[in-house]
Amino acid sequence: MGRLVVVSNRVPAPRDRQQPAGGLAVALRDALSEGQCLWFGWSGQQISEHEKAERDVSIDHVENVTYATIDLTHAEFDGFYQKYSNAILWPLCHYRAGLMEYNRKDREVYLDVNELFARKLLPLLKPDDLIWIHDYHLFPLGQALRDLGVTSPIGFFLHIPFPPWSLMKALPGGTKLMQNMQAYDVIGLQTEDDARNMNDGFSICGVKARAQVFPIGIDPESFAEQAKAGEDLAEVQRLGESLAGKPLIIGVDRLDYSKGLPERLKGYETFLQRYPEHRGKVVYLQIAPVSRGDVEEYRLLKQGLDEAVGRINGSYGDFDWTPVRYLTHPVPRHLLAGFYRLANVALVTPLRDGMNLVAKEYVAAQDPEDPGVLVLSHFAGAAPEMEDALLVNPHDADEIAEALHKALIMPQAERKARWALLQPDVWRVTAGSWARDFIGTLAKVKRA
C-alpha cells in the first residue's frame, strides 16, 4: 500500500503531535502509526499581505509522520475559513440555509485557497500515495489536484451532514461543487441519509460519482480506561462532593447553533416546570466552550445562552441550589471522561450533527454495573446506531422534559439493559475501524 497523505484544514499544533488530544488526530492515530505518512494543511497562523510572496511550506517530522503546513493571510483566513466555510457551508450543511451569509467574493477566496493547497502540496507528493482529504473546507481540493495532473487515488470524507439537493441548490455554484466531486475515487459520509442526499444530488446534477457510508467512532477502550482512572482525580472527586448526592445531568458541546443548546435549556426549564419534585434535587452541568467566537451568529448564540441560564437560575434556583452550572471554557479530556462517568444522564440534543462523538464517549465512560442514561437527538448521525438511548426531538421541549424525568427515575436493571445494547456498537464502529475501512477502500482503487 502507498504512503498515506492526509489533508485537512487544520493540522495538529506541534505540542499536540506526540500525544493527540482530540479530533481528527485521535481518530487517525492507528492509521498514522503505520508506514510513512504526510499530513498537510493550514498551520493556524495568519500572515500579512506582504509576507504572502515568501510564504513557504513548513515541514516537521515526528516519528513516521511528516507535518507540512502553510500560513494563510488575514484575507484568506477571513474569506476561506470564517466566511465561506463557517458562515456558508456549515449552516447550509446543517439545514440552516437562512443563516447563510453568501458573498461571491468569499467563494472566490475559498476556491483560491483550495488551489493554493493543491499547488503547495503537489511537490510533496509521490506517485504511489493515497490521498485522503477531510471536510467541507476542502470540497474542491481533489479537482484542483487533478487539474495539476495528480493521478493517485484521492478520497474525501465529510464529517458533517449533507442536506437534500433541494436545500443544497440554494448555494450559488452548488452544481459546480457537485461536479468537482468527480475528482474523488472514494467519497465517504457519516450516515445513510447523508449518502442518499449526496447521491440524489449527483444524479440530479448528472455527476458520475457515488457517496458511501463510513460512520466514525471513538477509541472506546482508551476512553473507558480514562473514565475509570478519572474516578481518582481530585477534580472529579470535587465535582462529586459538590453534588451532595444529587444526580448529575451533563451536556458537552462546542458552543455551536447546530448543537441545539437554547432548545436544550428550554427542555430543562420545561422539566423543572412540569416535574417540581426534581427542583433542588438535580444538577445540570453544561460545558460549552466558545468556538468561532468572531462569527456574528456565534456571538448572538452565546448572548442568548447566557441570558437563558441566568433566567433559569434566577427563577428556579435557591440560596443553596443552582439548577444550571454553565462553563464556556474547555475542560481537559481526562477530566471530561471522569465527569461523564459521574453523570447520571447525558443530554446530547443537536438539531443536526454529522455523528456526535460525545454520545459515544458517554457510553464508553459508564460503569457497566451502574450506567447512566443517554438522552439523544434523532438528528445526531449517531442516532441510527444508538436506538437504545432515549431518543428525542430536540425541538420539542416537552419531549426533552419527559425523557429527563424518565432517565432520572429509570430502574438500574433498565439502565443496565439499555447500556448493554448500546455498548457493542460503540466498541465495533471505532475511530480505528473507520480509518481502516476508508483507507482499505481507497487502496483498492485502480484509476482508469
Q: How far is the CB of 192 from ligand ADQ (least distance, A)?
A: 15
> Contacting ligand ADQ (CB under 6 A), which of 219, 263, 269, 361?
361
Distance CA 298, CA 171 (A): 21
Q: Which of 71, 129, 193, 353 is catalytic?
A: 353
Stretch that binds ligand ADQ, among 168-176, 204-212, 252-260, 365-373 (CB under 6 A): 252-260
Q: How far is the CB of 318 from ligand ADQ (least distance, A)?
A: 27
Q: Between vectors from CA 280 to CA 276 and to CA 284, what angle results, nearest 5°?
A: 100
- Determine the length of the chain: 448
Query: Residue 336, interface with ligand ADQ (CB under 6 A)?
Result: yes
Bridge partners of 41, per DSSP, are 69
**135 and 9 Cβ atoms separated by less than 8 Å:** yes
Q: Which of 71, 159, 194, 253 is catalytic?
A: 159
Q: Between vectors from CA 147 to CA 39 and to CA 81, what angle results, nearest 5°?
A: 50
Q: How far is the CB of 137 from ligand ADQ (least distance, A)?
A: 12
Q: How far is the CB of 24 from ligand ADQ (least distance, A)?
A: 8
Cell of 305: 445562552
Query: Residue 354, interface with ligand ADQ (CB under 6 A)?
Result: yes
Query: Residue 65, interface with ligand ADQ (CB under 6 A)?
Result: no
> Contacting ligand ADQ (CB under 6 A), which of 254, 274, 325, 378?
254
Map the footprint of ligand ADQ across residues 142-161, applying CB under 6 A. 159-160
> Contacting ligand ADQ (CB under 6 A), which of 76, 353, 402, 425?
353
For strands 373-377 and 345-348, give the pairing: parallel
Query: What are the CA-CA distances from residue 243 to residues 45, 282, 383, 426 (Å)?
Result: 42, 8, 30, 29
Distance CA 3, CA 36 (A): 6
Query: Closest Cα partner for 251 from 292, 319, 207, 305?
Result: 305
Query: Residue 357, interface with ligand ADQ (CB under 6 A)?
Result: yes
Map the footprint of ligand ADQ across residues 302-331, applying CB under 6 A. 330-331
Q: How far is the CB of 425 from ligand ADQ (least distance, A)?
A: 15
Closer residue to ligand ADQ, CB minimum distance, 94 or 266? 94
Closer residue to ligand ADQ, CB minimum distance, 70 or 358? 358
> Contacting ligand ADQ (CB under 6 A), which of 253, 263, 269, 425?
253
Query: Residue 376, interface with ligand ADQ (CB under 6 A)?
Result: no
Q: How far is the CB of 379 from ligand ADQ (least distance, A)?
A: 11
**Across 109-184, where does the E strand assignment appear?**
130-134, 154-157
> Contacting ligand ADQ (CB under 6 A), which of 130, 177, 358, 364?
358
Q: Residue 94 catalytic?
A: no
> Contacting ligand ADQ (CB under 6 A), which of 356, 366, 423, 430?
356
Distance CA 332, CA 235 (A): 11
Stretch that binds ligand ADQ, among 147-155, 302-310, 354-362, 416-424 (CB under 6 A): 354-362
Closer residue to ligand ADQ, CB minimum distance, 79 or 350? 350
Q: Residue 353 catalytic?
A: yes
Query: Closest Cα partner for 141 from 215, 40, 73, 225?
Result: 40
Q: For residue 294, with 0-12 CB atoms within 10 Å meaning exposed, 13-18 middle and 19 or more buried, which class applies?
A: exposed
Closer residue to ligand ADQ, CB minimum distance, 186 or 272? 186
Distance CA 286, CA 309 (A): 10
Q: What is the 3-state secondary structure of 328-397?
A: CCCCCHHHHHHHHHHCCEEEECCCCECCCHHHHHHHHHCCCCCCCEEEEECCECCHHHCCCCEEECCCCH
3-state SS, residue 59: strand
Q: How far is the CB of 331 from ligand ADQ (least distance, A)?
A: 4
For strands 345-348 and 324-327, give the pairing: unpaired
* 265 to 304: interface string for ligand ADQ, x by CB under 6 A: ----------------------x-x---------------
Binding residues for ligand ADQ, rule: CB under 6 A, are 22, 159-160, 216, 252-254, 287, 289, 330-331, 336, 353-358, 361, 381
Catalytic residue annotation: 159, 353
